[in-house]
């Protein structure tokens, strides 16, 4: 099983003094694309005013320019610890047990606009880049879509996609029976369903944490739905399309 998480705009500072090593990242087929994305990001950061304009940063976010300028030399920490925000606060990686972290290293990945798909334990620096960022000479959608789509298509086993739709556009999961897109919804008293925003991220974090704590062996969509029922999650089959992963709706 591979659980795909979205990244977060916000990152934790600090980490190990060991600098970024691309060869230490999971999914080595993405190395060449990572080199090019790093180059373009650091080129943009060489012009502070332009980077702040392109990334829509305010005066209080000027430190983000330094982060992107120093990508090759700044401290690193595991991806699951680096990201902050609603989803990652709910997941609360620092409080996970050693066994849960080992399970995460084997079964959880984060989709970074800068590095592509990375493993939960991959050491990365703090950076600022979003799925819709514009880099000099590089369009992220066309840059990542084929390498990541190919990578995920070649991945065997269950894929549980928790990414936002913007990141799905940077590399879709395969359309097959053991590949699912998880959508968080609420249901009102009249039975009407609606997508959530803030609570969407929190629900994804809590769901992922529950998986890491339970460490189940899940090979199929039916396995996932059965585990969810036993773990107290209401998971229902949503839209099924032949050209995309089936949608599962997690009712929060």
DSSP-assigned beta bridge partners for residue 110: 5, 118
Sole residue written with tokens 């029976």: 177
What does residue 124 show for φ and ψ, rounded to 5 degrees? -130, 155
* CA R_g for the chain: 18
State the pTM of this model.
0.93
pLDDT for the residue numbered 243: 81
Q: How many domains does the structure of the chain reveal?
A: 1
pLDDT for the residue numbered 197: 63
Beta-sheet strands, E only, within the chain: 2-5, 77-78, 108-112, 116-119, 123-124, 134-135, 138-139, 159-161, 179-187, 193-195, 234-237, 246-251
Neighbouring C-alpha atoms within 13 Å toward the C-beta of 159? 26
Closest to 76 in 3D by CA, of 23, 40, 29, 39: 23
- The region, left, alpha or beta by phi > 0 then psi within -120 to 50, assigned to residue 51 is alpha
Supply 157's token pair: 């086993």
Written as tens digits, the pLDDT of the chain (252 aa) is 999 999 999 999 999 999 999 999 999 999 999 999 999 999 999 999 998 998 888 888 888 999 999 999 999 999 999 999 999 999 999 999 999 999 999 999 999 999 999 999 999 999 999 999 999 999 999 999 999 999 999 999 999 999 999 999 999 999 998 999 999 987 766 566 666 566 789 999 999 999 999 999 999 999 999 999 999 999 988 877 778 898 999 987
- Domain containing 180: what range? 2-251
């Amino acid at each position: 099983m591979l659980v795909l998480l979205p990244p977060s705009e916000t990152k934790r500072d600090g980490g190990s003094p060991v600098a970024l090593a691309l060869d230490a990242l999971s999914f080595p087929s993405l190395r060449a694309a990572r080199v090019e994305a790093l180059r373009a990001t650091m080129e943009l950061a060489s012009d502070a005013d332009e980077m702040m304009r392109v990334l829509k940063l305010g005066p209080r976010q000027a430190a983000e320019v330094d982060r992107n300028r120093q990508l090759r030399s700044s401290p690193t920490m595991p991806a699951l610890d680096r990201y902050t925000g609603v989803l990652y606060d709910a997941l609360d990686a620092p409080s996970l047990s050693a066994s849960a972290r080992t399970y995460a290293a084997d079964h959880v990945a984060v989709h970074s606009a800068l590095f592509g798909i990375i493993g939960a334990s991959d050491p990365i620096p703090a950076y600022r880049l979003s799925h819709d960022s514009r880099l000099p000479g590089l369009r992220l959608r066309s840059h990542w879509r084929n390498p990541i789509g190919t990578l995920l298509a070649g991945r065997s086993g269950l894929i549980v996609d928790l990414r936002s739709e913007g990141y799905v556009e940077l590399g879709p999961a395969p359309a097959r029976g053991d590949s699912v897109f998880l959508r968080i919804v609420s249901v009102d008293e009249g039975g009407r369903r609606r997508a959530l925003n803030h609570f969407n991220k929190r629900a994804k974090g809590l769901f992922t944490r529950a998986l890491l704590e339970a460490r189940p062996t899940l090979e199929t969509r039916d396995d996932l739905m059965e585990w969810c029922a036993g773990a107290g999650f209401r998971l229902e089959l949503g839209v099924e399309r032949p050209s995309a992963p089936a949608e599962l709706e997690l009712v929060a």
